[in-house]
Homo-oligomer: A and B are copies of this chain.
């Protein structure tokens, strides 16, 4: 049973973004992950052309419905739960969660609450005076060598985790495998053919057959694949016989 976040109650809030491209790319990432609500606070540049280029046609509606505010406090007023994103380097006295932990929280919270995921400006992230509005803090794990994420990339990771939270891991589909009856007949056939062409020593056929069995059992052969292998064996049989008796036999029916 799936228990997923209510994505209609999630809003991405960008505080003082510098580049319209990042707003557009954030809109696209949000929409990819089923989040339609974007709020921008005091943007440096709201060039619609540059924004839409990155949003692409498919996320145009997210930009069209985007709300723009001058003041962060006012922008955040409607939200019951605010998640602040912050770089690992910040020296916070507060507990900082992992995106997956936050996404699990959001599954439950989003049923009855409006949730904002707040991102700071590209160059400095969220300052303490902005983080004070937040109910929880989250840091996207990164390599020690380079922790500064592009704004829209950070939006993608958070949106992806929220979209995925509570989703059942898709079952890996394993098709029906060949039965032991089919496999053993194939191994008999292989042994016969490989003995005929002197690949397998008739005195000690099991030496090579063991290796082949190990190799084939790792694959998990399906019935139709067993048929292909037996078809190749039959064709080898036929070709060898033909070479001995002259050209007359037809193509093998595979």
Q: Mark A73-117, 1 if CB is under 8 A from B, else 0.
A: 000000000000000000000010110110000000000000000
Query: Would you call A147 an interface residue if the criterion is a C-beta within 8 Å of the partner chain's C-beta atoms?
Result: yes
By size class, the interface of chain A is: 35 or more
Contacts of A153 in B (CB 8 A): 25, 28-29, 32, 152-153, 156
| Contact across chains for A34 and B164 when beta carbons are under 8 A apart | no
Measured between C-beta atoms, what is the minimum distance from A152 to chain B in Å? 7
> Which stretch from A168-176, A201-209, A210-218, A243-251 is at the chain B interface?
A168-176
Measured between C-beta atoms, what is the minimum distance from A140 to chain B in Å? 8
Q: How far is the CA of A160 from the CA of B7 in the complex (A)?
A: 22
- Per assembly, the copies of the chain total 2
Contacts of A172 in B (CB 8 A): 95, 97, 101
State which of B25, B164, B169, B173 has its C-beta within 8 Å of the C-beta of A150.
Answer: B25
Query: Would you call A146 an interface residue if the criterion is a C-beta within 8 Å of the partner chain's C-beta atoms?
Result: yes
Measured between C-beta atoms, what is the minimum distance from A239 to chain B in Å? 27
List 9 A-B pairs, minimum CB-CB distance, nearest first: A34-B143, A58-B146, A31-B146, A153-B156, A32-B142, A98-B170, A95-B173, A32-B149, A157-B160
Given contacts A33-B143, A56-B148, A101-B172, 6 further A-B contacts (CB under 8 A): A32-B149, A32-B153, A58-B146, A141-B164, A157-B157, A160-B160
